[in-house]
Amino acid sequence: MLAAVILSGGQSSRMGSPKALLRFQGKTFLEHLVAVTRHAQISVRRIVLGPDAGAITEALALPSGDIVINPDWQLGQLSSIHAAVRSLPPGTDGMLLCLVDHPLVSAELVGQLVEAFYATRKGIVLPVCGGRRGHPVIFSANVYDELLAAPLDQGARAVVWAHTHDLAEVPTADEGCLWNVNDPATLANLTDVSG
Which domains, and CATH codes, for the chain?
2-187 (3.90.550.10)
Q: Are 170 and 127 in contact (CB under 8 A)?
A: yes
List of residues 6+ apart from 148 with CB closer than 8 A? 82, 85, 86
Give the integer Cα–Cα distance in Å for 6 and 97. 6
pTM as predicted: 0.93
Contact 19, 111 (CB under 8 A): no
C-alpha dihedral, 115 to 117 to 118 to 120, nearest 10°: 110
pLDDT in tens, the chain (195 residues): 999 999 998 766 566 578 899 988 889 999 999 999 999 999 999 999 999 999 999 999 899 999 999 999 999 999 999 999 999 999 999 999 999 999 999 999 999 999 999 999 999 999 999 999 999 999 999 999 999 999 888 889 999 999 999 999 999 999 989 988 877 777 777 755 544
Q: How far apart, in whole angstroms, are the C-alpha atoms of residue 103 and residue 123?
A: 25
In whole angstroms, what is the distance from residue 120 CA to residue 38 CA? 21
